[in-house]
Structure 1
Amino acid sequence: MSHQAMTDDYALVSQVLEGDVQAFRLLIRQHERLVAHMIGRLVKNNEEREELCQDVFLKVHEKLSEFSFQSRLSTWIATIAYRHAINWMRKQKIPMYDLMHEEHAGAFFVESENPETLLSDQDMNAFVLTLVDALPPQYKAILTLYHVEAMSYAEIGQVTNLPEGTVKSYLFRARNLLKEKVKQYIGKEELL
Structure 2
Amino acid sequence: MATALKAEYGFDTEDLKASAKIVKFVIPKKHQEQDAAQEHELASFEETMLPHMDAAHNLARWLLHNEQDAQDVVQEAYLRAFKSFGGFHGSNGRAWLLTIVRNTSYTLLKRNRAVDLTTPFDEEIHASGHESVSPATILEQSEDAELVREAMDELPVEFREILTLRHLEGLSYKEIADIAQLAPGTVMSRLARARARLKQGLAARINREK
Asked whether the two chains share a fold, i.e. TM above 0.5, the reply is yes
Identity %: 25
Q: Which residue of 1 aligns with 2:163?
A: 143
Q: Highest relative contact order (Cα 8 Å, sep 6+), 1 or 2?
A: 1
Q: Which residue of 1 aligns with 2:184?
A: 164
Q: Is the 8 A contact 1:16 1:24 kept in 2?
A: no
**One-letter amino acid matched to 2:148:** V
Instruction: Find out whether 1:48 has 2:69 as its counterpart.
Output: yes
Deviation at 1:43, TM superposition (A): 1.3
| Per-residue deviation, residues 133-180 of structure 1 (Å, max 9, x unmatched) | 111111111100000111111110000001111111111001111122
| Per-residue deviation, residues 91-124 of structure 1 (Å, max 9, x unmatched) | 112413422345xxxxxxxxxxxxxxxxxx6653
**One-letter amino acid matched to 2:80:** K
**One-letter amino acid matched to 1:140:** R
Q: 2:111 aligns with which of 91, 100, 123?
A: 91
Deviation at 1:44, TM superposition (A): 2.4
Gap runs ≥5 in structure 2: 1-35, 123-140
| Per-residue deviation, residues 57-98 of structure 1 (Å, max 9, x unmatched) | 0011001111131x5111111111111101111111241342
Q: State the alpha-carbon separation in 2 of the partners of residues 167 and 178 from structure 1.
A: 16
Instruction: Find out whether 1:181 has 2:180 as its counterpart.
Output: no
| 1:78-157 superposed matches below 5 A | 78-102=98-122, 123-157=143-177
Deviation at 1:38, TM superposition (A): 1.4
Gap runs ≥5 in structure 1: 1-14, 103-120, 188-192
**One-letter amino acid matched to 1:60:** A
Counterparts in 2 of 1:67 and 1:23: CA distance versus 1, 3 Å: closer
* Residue-pair matches, total: 156
Q: State the alpha-carbon separation in 1 of the partners of residues 99 and 112 from structure 2.
A: 20
* TM-score, structure 2 as length reference: 0.65
Deviation at 1:28, TM superposition (A): 4.4
Q: State the alpha-carbon separation in 1 of the partners of residues 114 and 63 from structure 2.
A: 10
Superposition RMSD on alpha carbons, in Å? 2.7
Q: Is the 8 A contact 1:17 1:65 kept in 2?
A: no
> Looking at CA atoms only, which structure, 1 or 2, has the larger radius of gyration?
2
